[in-house]
Amino acid sequence: MTELWNYTFTLTIFIVVVEMILSGFWNTTYFRIGIPIFKYKLPRNSPSRLPKTNEAIARKLPSSIFPPIRVYKLATDEFAFREALWPMSYKITYTPIMRGSLKYFRDEVQVTGLINWSAIIFFMIFASIPLTSGEGRLDLWMVPLFLCIIEGSIYAIQVKRYMKVAEIAAQKTSRY
């Protein structure tokens, strides 16, 4: 069993590092392909105009006690966004559950949240703790329950922030 946990730990570290590299370098495929866990659409005010730069969206986002949202232009009508990897201030920080994609369509703006690989791995590890203990201890179920509460709270925070990205993108399109 120890060998399995060593393998799992090594795999987890590897996945977290790879995910940070892909996210940090704004890998286009990483921000376009994944398992969607959030989708939000709003009508566009001005279908003819699109933001020209990353900053056109990012500077409109309100400041928060959480790490700032960074935006990166993937294509003329598509942006990727995520929380800052290394926030330079003492804000409340969390391990993101998802990464964001902002896509402009003719009459609407769509924000999609794709689940991060690390969130899946952490959930699987913590969910397996009571199953692999072999002792049938009921108190070990508190670990995955606690994780679900934490991840649910982080998801709720991100949903609210991602909705704000969509609202700004839809409302401010004509002013870029």
Predicted confidence (pLDDT) per residue in 138-171, tens digit = 677 787 888 889 999 999 999 999 999 999 888 8
**Which of the residue ranges 10-24, 68-82, 95-109, 114-128 would you say has the lowest mean pLDDT?**
114-128
| Residue 138 to residue 142: CA distance in whole angstroms | 8
Give one word for 34, left, alpha or beta, with left for phi > 0 and alpha for psi -120 to 50.
left
The confidence score (pLDDT) of residue 22 equals: 97
* Mean pLDDT of all residues in 28-39: 97
> Band of the pLDDT at 133, cuts 50, 70, 90?
low
3-state secondary structure (DSSP) of residue 140:
helix
**Which residue type occupies 98?**
M
* Mean pLDDT of all residues in 78-85: 93
Q: How many other CB atoms are there within 10 angstroms of residue 165's CB atom?
A: 22
Produce one character per residue of 80-105: b if its CB has 16 or more CB atoms within 10 Å, e if not: bbbbeeeeeeeeeeeebbbbbbbbbe
* Mean pLDDT of all residues in 70-82: 94
| Residue 119 to residue 121: CA distance in whole angstroms | 6
> Band of the pLDDT at 48, cuts 50, 70, 90?
low
The confidence score (pLDDT) of residue 118 equals: 92
* % of the chain exceeding 70 in pLDDT: 88
In the numeric block, which tokens belong to residue 86?
Answer: 């290394």
Among 9-18, 22-31, 43-52, 54-63, the range of highest mean pLDDT? 22-31
Q: Which residues contact 109 (CB under 8 A, 6 or more apart)?
A: 41, 42, 43, 44, 102, 103, 166, 169, 170, 173
The confidence score (pLDDT) of residue 112 equals: 98
Higher-pLDDT residue of 81 and 2 is 81
Confidence (pTM): 0.87
